[in-house]
Amino acid sequence: MLKFASHAGPLRLLAVCALALLAGCGDKPEAAVEAFLERHWAEPMAPQGAPPAAFSPLEASLDPAACGQCHAEQYAAWRTSLHSKAMGPGLRWQLLLMDQEQGNRCLRCHTPLAEQKALLALEHGWPNAPKQPPPDFVPADLGHQGLVCAACHVRGHQRFGPPRGEAVKDGPHGGFVVAEAFQDSRFCAHCHQFPDNGPRIAGKLLEDTYRQWFASAYAKEGAGKQTCQSCHMPDRQHRWRGIHDPEMTRRAIEASLKLHALGDGRYEARANVRNSGAGHHFPTYMVPKVELVFYRRDADGGRVELGRHVIGWNVDTPITRELSDTRIAAGEASEFRQPFVAPGGGGWRVELVMRVLPAEHYERIYRDALDRAGQLPAAAVPLLRRALDEAVATRYELLRIEARAEP
């Protein structure tokens, strides 16, 4: 049975062990990081337990807004992030179709706290729901708040964070435990890397971002090493920008367009796209797609679409079969060729428009589900429609470039 509270002693010991490891008790730093991560992300995640008697309600609260009272900049950034939207309508309508075991596979990353899972078990009437009401330090909406501050930073009411000088033992909530692991890419791998026995399509793990990074030049030791945090949390910002953000995506790629004459009025437009700035595949997994649309712009102002190409891992909506995989690994490039026939006369040019569809796979899933809306629970349909609207709204045009035939 899920519980909201349990004895906090073992997790208090965990915090002491983490401090000892990082202070050096015979373990090397590498071993200390691995030991910390094994404990920090142990599953199932234990409840926080009863807060220390000296804690004020604000110090004990798991509500991100409570954290924001002191950590205002981090809280404001988190609210704009996808982490804060991890329990959006796109997942909530699916939970209405799941039993508790199925749901917990999603909640493992989308709402990992035991207290969040307990609230959602109550909401869905799952058999392992707690019998007692939530304690005061658990806000009623915590289960809908996604990946909250406490999911990364709080265990047994002890706060953990990255180095900032010495461990802080005084101050609000008893200070915090310094953990080097917060600066290590393996910290993010808990959710952004499936284990070897995880689900695969065509032999490829559905979530493989950490290993893509690990195989890249970005993971190599030395001055050029870049971690997940150095790209997605610059200056420790809590925004986690990715392919949903045009500026972040523009920094990830370089694109060029050239025309090649083939004779008899035939040409080939060749777009070269290099993954010059992402430390993993572009895009990293199946949900986003990037469209390359070739147009011929004629002298009279007319525009003719010549063809489309897709960069991404395309999988069918039941997630059983790979359709194509044109992702570009870190540091590599791909060429996309589009043949066409030139119009008579001169003055024409070719335009390449690159569009990003950050939620393309979800769009297809939601549309397929809406086609059989009559078979769904009534409560799922409005959530599903909202999820589709939100997914479509993430689309944007990344860039457009032109090329003209040489005289």
Strands 177-178 and 158-161: parallel
Q: Where are the alpha helices (DSSP H) in 24-113?
A: 29-40, 57-60, 64-67, 72-79, 89-95, 100-110
Domain residue ranges in the chain: 9-183, 246-403
Q: What is the pLDDT of residue 170?
A: 67
What are the tens digits of pLDDT across the range 340-359? 999 888 889 999 999 999 99
Cβ count near 221 (within 10 Å): 6
What CA–CA distance (Å, rounded) separates 196 from 214?
15
**How many angstroms separate the CA atoms of 324 and 202, rounded?**
10
Residue with tokens 């991890």: 86
Beta strands in 247-328 (DSSP E): 253-263, 266-275, 289-297, 303-311, 313-315, 322-325
How confident is the prediction along the chain (407 residues), in pLDDT tens digits per residue?
566 654 333 333 333 333 333 333 334 578 999 999 999 999 999 999 999 999 999 999 999 999 999 999 999 999 999 999 999 999 999 999 999 999 999 999 999 999 999 999 999 999 989 999 999 999 999 999 999 999 999 999 999 999 985 555 667 898 999 999 999 999 999 999 999 999 999 999 999 999 999 999 999 988 789 999 999 999 999 999 999 999 999 999 999 999 999 999 999 999 999 999 999 999 999 999 999 999 999 998 899 999 999 999 999 999 999 999 999 999 999 999 999 999 888 889 999 999 999 999 999 999 999 999 999 999 999 999 999 999 999 999 999 999 998 76
Place of tokens 């304690």: 135
Residue 355's contacts (CB-CB under 8 Å, 6 or more residues apart) are 290, 291, 293, 395, 396, 397, 398
CA geometry: angle at 391 spanning 256 and 226, to 5°? 55
Give the integer Cα–Cα distance in Å for 279 and 313: 17
For position 18, what pLDDT does the model report?
35
The CA–CA distances, whole Å, from 157 to 108, 166, 225 equal: 19, 20, 33
Token readout for 322 is 């790979």
The answer to whether the beta carbons of residues 84 and 147 sit under 8 Å apart is yes
- Residue 48 CA to residue 113 CA, distance in Å, equals 9
Predicted model pTM: 0.90
How does DSSP classify residue 244? T
